[in-house]
Amino acid sequence: MTDIQFKPYTKDELLELLYDYNNYGWFIPVLYNDGNVPYFKGFHYFSPEDFNAYENSKYLVAYILEHDKISIVGVIKYSVYGSEYQYQGLSYIDIQELYKGKGVAKLLISELNKYLDDKMILKLSFLSKEGTICNLNQLFKKLIHGVKVYASDDPIIK
């Protein structure tokens, strides 16, 4: 497989990478699902809508360099939530369709260890059909170290 690299981004930094301000458009083509929700071509959840939210999301991006240009192959979106009791919440992991089944998700989850705060838990979001099929919750619990991981179907945290 091509050499995959990783880089953390804030929402604003990723927007700078993906949006062409000179031509007022996205560098990755945008498609629309049946519900008229936009998404970046080759992805399911990774979307221009991510940049409209007021949340302070963080992104871990897996990419390859092609002709000195970044080609995104996977994205994890996560945030810090709560005021009294803070936790890290995973919004999604999305792998570009050409790279699914090639180990990119495992590499991306393992890389996420470097960026999580070990003083806060990681709460996973509800699983999609694909996430259920590949047992994504267990994959996170296996690959994340030093941070307690809770799935959406785990008992309520007290």
Sorted by where each begins, the domain ranges of the chain are 5-150
Determine the average pLDDT of the residues in 22-46. Answer: 95
Determine the average pLDDT of the residues in 26-51. Answer: 95
The whole-chain average pLDDT of the chain stands at 89
* 28 or 136, higher pLDDT: 28
What's this model's pTM, rounded to 2 decimal places? 0.89
Per-residue pLDDT, 85: 76
Q: Is the dihedral of CA 149, 150, 152, 153 positive or negative?
A: positive
Chain centre distance of CA 19:
18
Q: Is the pLDDT of residue 145 over 70?
A: yes
CATH number of 5-150: 3.40.630
* Structural element, H or E, at residue 17: helix 11-18
Q: In the beta sheet, which residues pair with residue 35?
A: none
Determine the average pLDDT of the residues in 105-134. Answer: 85
**Count of C-beta atoms within a 10 Å radius of residue 142:** 13
Place of tokens 């996973």: 124
Strands (E), the chain: 5-10, 19-20, 25-26, 30-32, 38-40, 58-66, 69-81, 87-95, 122-123, 149-150
